[in-house]
A and B are shown apart, each in its own frame.
Chain A
Amino acid sequence: GPAMDLFGDLRRMNKRQLYYQVLNFAMIVSSALMIWKGLIVVTGSESPIVVVLSGSMEPAFHRGDLLFLTNFHDDPIRAGEIVVFKVEGRDIPIVHRVIKIHEKENGNIKFLTKGDNNEVDDRGLYKEGQNWLEKKDVVGRARGFLPYVGMVTIIMNDYPKFKYALLAVMGAYVLLKRES
């Protein structure tokens, strides 16, 4: 059957063909990494695409939606904007709206955020003793969005077996694919 054919294929491939396929695979991975790095440079954000992890911005964004960010240095932070920020010391990006800003003449700004779907502002989420966010806490400003697409990463996170299965299938496909 097909499983035996696959094994047969594998054994018949000589070393040269295997190296070729591995290089092909490496090239695909490198190109993907380059595109990602390119996006980081072009948008100015360390994480230009993020997945919404919670329901705190419903009904606008739901868990699994994808957000596209920019983080240009000269872009001023203004009330009403949707920012993605990280609390100092924690790795999880939070997507909420700016509800208050106080900006000095020299451009130093401190601001407060709140999720649309939350009753209270984010002060409880900030670090102990921290009352405001600053520019350095911002990962980016939400400029565009696609619904549902990010669900794949959430599923891969919650069900690691799914992630390994997916990687195994992808790996097998690339290694065994014949170029005519």
Chain B
Amino acid sequence: LRKNVEDFTGPRERSDLGFVTFDITADILNGKKCIFDWNVKQLFLYLSAEYSTKNNALNQVVLWDKIMLRGDNPRLFLKDMKSKYFFFDDGNGLKGNRNITLTLSWNVVPNAGILPLVTGSGHVSVPFPDTYETTKSY
């Protein structure tokens, strides 16, 4: 599982807004077997950013998600993806934050039964720069 990021922050009203672009290379497995067994209807995949700020000990923001149905290819090979959702902080905790961890996780939706949440192995730490960008094309 590998992710590749470049990013910068921009102030919006009074909260930091981060922009992240990423690549995802992933192979979703259940141990060593294919994740799509007879009781798996779909997977809800999501990329979340986790970090700490002065304001909040723990922050998690879902940046991107994808629904993978039984029958789809469990291998992901995505490049230059932009985050689907705005990465707002609750305050100004992104500026200069050196330790934002991006993780890929998924919710297994069975045909019937338990709904587990699984976190993929492999995560990437992303630092945000110390300054704001005043102009950017997105």
User: Which residues of A approach B to under 8 Å, CB–CB?
Assistant: 59-61, 78-82, 97, 99-105, 110, 116, 121, 142-147
Q: Known: A79-B62, A145-B115. Is A99-B85 also a contact (CB below 8 A)? A: yes
In angstroms, how far is the closest chain B Cβ from the Cβ of A147?
6
* 15 further interface pairs, Cβ-Cβ under 8 Å (given A80-B117, A82-B107, A116-B65): A59-B42, A59-B69, A61-B109, A78-B117, A79-B60, A79-B61, A80-B44, A80-B105, A80-B107, A81-B117, A101-B58, A102-B56, A103-B58, A145-B110, A147-B111
Contact in complex: A104, B56 (CB < 8 Å): yes
B58's nearest neighbour on chain A, judged by CB, is: A103
Which residues between 100 and 129 of chain B lie within 8 Å of chain A, taking CB atoms?
105, 107, 109-115, 117
Report the separation of the CA atoms of residues A60 and B105 in the bound assembly, to the nearest whole angstrom: 16
Q: Known: A59-B42, A102-B55, A104-B56. Is A144-B62 also a contact (CB below 8 A)? A: no
Q: Known: A60-B41, A60-B42, A145-B110. Is A100-B61 also a contact (CB below 8 A)? A: yes
For B, the interface residue count at a CB cutoff of 8 angstroms equals: 29
B107's nearest neighbour on chain A, judged by CB, is: A80
Report the separation of the CA atoms of residues A97 and B24 in the bound assembly, to the nearest whole angstrom: 22
B60's nearest neighbour on chain A, judged by CB, is: A79
Report the separation of the CA atoms of residues A90 and B108 in the bound assembly, to the nearest whole angstrom: 30
Chain B 66-90 interface mask (CB, 8 Å, partner A; 1/0): 0101000000000000000100001
Report the separation of the CA atoms of residues A54 and B3 in the bound assembly, to the nearest whole angstrom: 35
Contact in complex: A103, B61 (CB < 8 Å): no
Contact in complex: A79, B48 (CB < 8 Å): yes
SS class, residues of chain B in contact with chain A? strand
Residues of chain A lying within 8 A (CB to CB) of residue B112: 145-147
In angstroms, how far is the closest chain A Cβ from the Cβ of B70?
10
Q: Known: A80-B105, A143-B114, A145-B115. Is A60-B60 also a contact (CB below 8 A)? A: no
Residues of chain B lying within 8 A (CB to CB) of residue A147: 111-112
B59's nearest neighbour on chain A, judged by CB, is: A102
Residues of chain A lying within 8 A (CB to CB) of residue B34: none
Contact in complex: B56, A116 (CB < 8 Å): no
Q: Known: A59-B69, A79-B61. Is A102-B46 also a contact (CB below 8 A)? A: no
Contact in complex: A105, B57 (CB < 8 Å): yes
Q: Known: A59-B42, A143-B114. Is A103-B57 also a contact (CB below 8 A)? A: yes
Q: Which of A101, A121, A142 has the most CB of B within 10 A?
A: A101
Q: Known: A102-B90, A145-B113. Is A116-B58 also a contact (CB below 8 A)? A: no
Residues of chain A lying within 8 A (CB to CB) of residue B113: 144-145
Contact in complex: B114, A144 (CB < 8 Å): yes
Which of B60, B114, B115, B117 is the one whose CB lies under 8 Å from A100?
A: B60
Residues of chain B lying within 8 A (CB to CB) of residue A116: 44, 65, 67
Report the separation of the CA atoms of residues A121 and B69 in the bound assembly, to the nearest whole angstrom: 23
Q: Known: A60-B42, A80-B46. Is A143-B60 also a contact (CB below 8 A)? A: no
Report the separation of the CA atoms of residues A59 and B43 in the bound assembly, to the nearest whole angstrom: 10
Contact in complex: B115, A82 (CB < 8 Å): yes
